[in-house]
Every structure is written in C-alpha cells, then in structure tokens.
Structure 1
Amino acid sequence: MLADRVENISNGALSDGVEIDASVKAVIEFIDTHFSDFSKKVKGEISASEKALTDKLCKYFNRVAGSYPFYFHHENVEDHSSGKSPQIDIGTLSREEQITIGDKNYNEFDSFFSIEAKRLPTPGQNREREYLIGHDKANGGIERFKKGIHGKGLRYSAIIGYVQKEDFDFWFLQINDWIEELIRTSKGEWIADDKLTKRGVQTDKQLTKFESDNIRVPVKSGTDKIKLFHFWISLVDDT
C-alpha cells in the first residue's frame, strides 16, 4: 500500500496539532523539497501563461519523482462520469491500482491530492482576485475548492502561486485583505479560517508557504473543511 511505502520518505510534523495521512504528507514534503529548484528554472518568466508554467511544473515533478510511489498528471479530469467535468491543473495519483486514505478508497484513475495553479497577478480585466474568486463565474482558486468543483471529497489539496509581480509579502497581505472583505459581505460563506497563515520560517527567497482551513460551501457545518497548502514561487528576476 502507498501509505506503507512512504514511511521512509515522509517524516516530521507539517502543522502543529494536525495529523496528516502519510500518503498526503509525502506529497507535501515532495513539493517542499523540489519546488524551489523548479523556480530557478523559470526565473524571469514574468509574462508566461499559467498553462505553460504548469505544464513545465508537472513534467519537472514527474522527472524527479522516480523513486516516489506517486506521479502527477496535468489537467486531470475530476469526474470521469461527466463529459463536462472540470479539470484540476495537476492531479496526484498512486502508482498502485488502489490506495486508502482515511476512510476513502482511491482507484488508479483518482487524484488523492489535487493541485490548482494561479498567477499573481492574474492578467486580464476584472481578474485581479482570481486566486480567491472569479468575477462572473466560479473560477477562483480557493473558491473552486470551497465549492467542491476541485478536490471534492478530499481533505487536503494545494494551490500553486506563480508570483510575476511584486513580492510575497505584498500578495500575502493583499489576499488576506480581500478575504476580510469577503468575510464582511458573504453571509458566512467566508470565515477567518479561510485566511492564509504562514507555514514555517521562510529561509528561501524563491519559495514561501502558507496554509488555510477552508470551509465548504454551501455551509453544512463548521467542521466541513478542506485544508489547502499554498506554495508560492517568485519568477521576478531581482538580479
């Protein structure tokens, strides 16, 4: 089983007071280990499209994931029973035919840890808040996880941020300010736990990490949440 095979790969706590399944922990630690090196390969690509960057990221992850018991798939279909299914930017799949995480079974075609990607800033008119919410449809990064469009049934997923302008502190404050506004205006669909909190001490100028406990909508209970891990890399060439 995948969970048994990752014990020698994954170790240590990722978040105080939170026990994360070994299979999910291994994926998060894989991203922690390799994402910074990827940022060096795309440094200076401040106008590259989200699709192009994510295509490169998925190929890079698969190249360095040789010994890991999982692999990554670009534009992974969320619902194989629907011809109009949404696609997550990167799905994470076991190399085995079936795994169990928590109380749920995943077959060989299911993503057990889904990854969405967004540019910061998102280019285009009325798209400045797309890391969070869409302008006239539900295409915001966090929004899609909250509504189950992405990561339905998952307890953990991730959002990649490609910073192409400004710096990490700017976007951390800006996004949390936007969430504060949504808390005031959304009638309970956004709460304080939706805000980003820093994860660990930042020692790498290329990479910063956050997490958020996002309540599902429509709201059924205060415990119906998905935990998101946010990984941001800077593409701004500051040399």
Structure 2
Amino acid sequence: MLADEEETSVQAGTLGANIHLPGEWLSSLVGFIAAALPGWRDDPKRPAQVGETGLTAQLCARLNSVSRHSTGWDFLQFRREEPDDARAGRSIDLVVAPSGALIWISGREYSEYRTLLPIECKRLPTPSGKDRDEREYVFSQFSSTGGIQRFKAGHHGAAHARAGMIGYVQGHDIPFWHAQLDAWIDGLVATAVQGWSADDKLVLAAHYGATRIASLQSTHKRDAGREPILIDHLWIEM
C-alpha cells in the first residue's frame, strides 16, 4: 500500500525509487513474515536443523526468496547478524531493510543502510549450558543476553519504536510457553528485579492451531528515558 503518492514505480536493484508508507505498514510486514513461517518449516527440501543460528540462517534465506517473488514486497531484503543501528558493537540476529529503494515511514527515511525492523531469534527452551538461564527469551541473570531484556535496556533497537522476536518452539506447544513466560515475568516482579512489571507480559493476538504458529505483542518501558518499545512476537512450533 502506498500513501501520499499517486504513482510510484519500484525498481528492484536501483536506489532512488521513493516509497512512502503509512506508519501501520510495519504491521503488514510482521504479517508477511508470519505468513512465510509455516511454508519454511514444512519445506521438504529444508535440511533438518535444531540450533538457533542454523534455523535463523535458513529462515533468512527463505524470507529473501519469498520477498523477491512477492509483488509489493520485492523492495525488501533480510540480513543476518547485522550491527545494531545505535550500538554497532552489538549484532541483531535478523534485520529487514530496503533493497533498491528509499522508503519513508512517518517522516523517517530508510535505505539499504538503515534497518526497518530489528528481530531477535530465540529457541524455546533455551539450550542448557554453563551460564545459560532457562528464562533467556525474557531475561538472563548471568548477562544481558535475555531477548526482551536487551530491548528494554536499549542494547538492541534503541533507535526503533518497534522490534520483533521469533520464537522457535520446541519440546512443548505454544500455550505452554505463553504460560511459562507469564510465570517468569511474575517471578521477576516478585523478586523486585529492577525495571520489570506485570505490564511486560506478552498478549496473545492470534494462535493458528492448524499451522502451529502464533502472534503475540508486548510493550516495554526502556532505560535512559527512551520511549517505550512495541515488540511483535512470532512463534512457530518446529
């Protein structure tokens, strides 16, 4: 969908095509990613994979293929392990950026050098190991590796008002993990961990039993006086 433009031509591979999009377009982008998840997981040609890094590499390749062949999405690219816009020493698991176009959203310009949406990817459950916290999707007591924790602290996505997280659900189903995250956040609140409240809980937006995916959202206050951040969570049972 284009806004404030009567005619706009998108030429893949050629920077300079200006695309003006409404602020809510990011919701459509999240929906596009969600729609691609089941086909990626169920692709018979996809090599078996369990680890987070391997799964994210596969998903990134799939999203690039799907976007390239989808009308209205072919001006996007997906990249892995990109430096954070505000903290270049930290890497984002997966980012979305323009490809061959300049995109304007709510008065802000995005090019192939500026991330549209930063996305963290996490396994549920967290792999066991030294200095690994089972609550790592949310928080880690050993480091700043907690997924939501990074966004709250501004270690990831400080330049963004919206971000994404993808959960590779393994071992249990989506309702189990939603309840488990609620319990973990309740525990952080009960032990008075600074900056955490019941407002940090995830709200289930949609759960599709047939394809075994779910969409959830959460909003979090951030440190250093930054505006709150909205996180879209896409979970897929592997």
Under TM normalisation by the shorter chain, which class is it? 0.7 to 0.9
Alignment RMSD (CA, Å):
2.7
Query: Structure 1 residue 188: deviation in Å?
Result: 5.2
Check the 8 A contact 2:85/2:115 in 1, yes or no: no
Name the residue aligned to 1:130. 136
Question: Larger deviation: 187-196 or 28-37?
Answer: 187-196
Q: Does 1:227 align with 2:233?
A: no
Q: For 1:36, what is the secondary structure of its paired residue?
A: helix
1:101-152 superposed Cα distances (whole Å, 9 cap, x missing partner):
2353333211110111000101123421110112311011111111111111
Name the residue aligned to 2:53. 51
Q: Which runs of 5+ in 1 are unaligned?
A: 6-19
Check the 8 A contact 1:78/1:150 in 2, yes or no: yes
Larger radius of gyration: 2
Which of 153, 166, 169 aligns to 1:163? It is 169
The residue type equivalent to 1:35 in the other structure is L
Name the residue aligned to 1:33. 35
Q: Which runs of 5+ in 2 are unaligned?
A: 6-21
TM-score, length basis structure 1: 0.80
The change in CA–CA distance for 1:122 and 1:81 in structure 2 (over 3 A counts) is closer
Check the 8 A contact 1:146/1:217 in 2, yes or no: yes
The residue type equivalent to 1:198 in the other structure is L
Check the 8 A contact 1:130/1:141 in 2, yes or no: yes
The residue type equivalent to 1:51 in the other structure is T
The residue type equivalent to 2:57 in the other structure is D
Name the residue aligned to 1:95. 99
Query: Structure 1 residue 209: deviation in Å?
Result: 1.4
Once the two structures are superposed, the pairs formed by residues 1-239 of structure 1 within 5 Å of their partners are 21-41=23-43, 48-66=50-68, 67=71, 68=73, 69-79=75-85, 82=88, 85-96=89-100, 98-125=102-129, 126-186=132-192, 189-218=195-224, 220=225, 224-235=227-238
> What is the alpha-carbon distance in structure 2 between the residues aligned to residue 203 and residue 165 of structure 1?
16
> What is the alpha-carbon distance in structure 2 between the residues aligned to residue 152 and residue 141 of structure 1?
14
Q: Which has the higher contact order (CA 8 A, sep 6+)?
A: 1
Q: Percent identity?
A: 32
The change in CA–CA distance for 1:212 and 1:81 in structure 2 (over 3 A counts) is closer
1:64-118 superposed Cα distances (whole Å, 9 cap, x missing partner):
0013121110111114884xx1111111101245433235333321111011100
> What is the alpha-carbon distance in structure 2 between the residues aligned to residue 81 and residue 215 of structure 1?
19
Check the 8 A contact 2:86/2:157 in 1, yes or no: no
Check the 8 A contact 2:87/2:155 in 1, yes or no: no
Which stretches of structure 1, 4 residues or more, deviate above 6 A after TM superposition?
1-5
The residue type equivalent to 1:88 in the other structure is I
